[in-house]
């Protein structure tokens, strides 16, 4: 597993802890890191796309940035009393992925008040619903142009930093 993948797992866990407990929000998050250590992080809900198009877009930016690792996270609601924040970190060159899960506790007003430690588990990448984003995607020239334009517009508004050592 790439060093960036291990670091990404730690960072996404801390990111969720800060945003959930500090701001009360539990967004669907996506982040990728390329071989140069450039990291991009944004909220998936901001895309306002259907799931299939969303996956195409994410695959497009993974390929455009030659991502070595990506992570995707979300809130999982089993029932009102049992909620989890889960994310997976997928490495380009590894058949395994890191899946992390932490239990979220809310008060009577439905505000987050506690988040357990994230438990890490290694699973087969192809067992994850969104573990296929490295697979080549065939897009029309028009769709590529739309995605390129959207990505350029997004880049000015999302977290971009270098993880390079």
Which tens digits make up the pLDDT trace of 46-86? 899 999 999 999 999 999 999 999 999 999 998 877 899 99
Asked if 72 and 88 touch (Cβ cutoff 8 Å), the reply is yes
Task: Give the DSSP letter string of 118-148.
Answer: PEEEEEEGGGSTTTTTTS-----HHHHHHHH
Confidence of residue 165 (pLDDT cuts 50, 70, 90): low
For 28, the token pair is 């669907």
Beta bridge partners of 104: 83, 115
Q: What is the pLDDT of residue 156?
A: 87
Whether 99 has a pLDDT exceeding 80, the answer reads: yes
Residue 80: the pLDDT is 76
Report in angstroms the alpha-carbon separations of 52 from 95, 125, 136.
23, 19, 14
The whole-angstrom separation of Cα 71 and Cα 9 is 8
Is the pTM for the entire model greater than 0.85? Answer: yes
Which residues sit opposite 98 in a β-bridge?
A: 89, 122
33: helix, coil or strand? strand
Whether residue 4 has pLDDT greater than 70: yes
Residue 1, pLDDT above cutoff 70: no
């Amino acid at each position: 597993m790439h060093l960036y993948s291990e670091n990404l797992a730690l960072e996404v866990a801390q990111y969720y802890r800060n945003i959930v407990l500090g701001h009360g929000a539990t967004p669907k998050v996506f982040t990728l890191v390329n071989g140069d250590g450039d990291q991009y992080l944004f909220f998936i809900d901001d895309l306002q796309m259907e799931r299939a198009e969303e996956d195409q877009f994410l695959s497009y930016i993974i390929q455009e940035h030659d991502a070595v690792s990506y992570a995707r996270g979300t809130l999982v609601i089993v029932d009102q009393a049992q909620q989890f924040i889960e994310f997976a970190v997928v490495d380009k060159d590894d058949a395994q992925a890191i899946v992390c899960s932490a239990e979220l506790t809310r008060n009577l007003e439905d505000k987050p008040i506690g988040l357990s430690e994230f438990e890490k588990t290694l699973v087969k990448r192809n067992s994850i619903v969104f573990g296929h984003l490295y697979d080549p995607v065939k897009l029309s020239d028009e769709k590529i142009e739309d995605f390129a334009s959207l990505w350029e517009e997004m880049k000015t508004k999302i977290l971009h930093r270098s993880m390079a050592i």
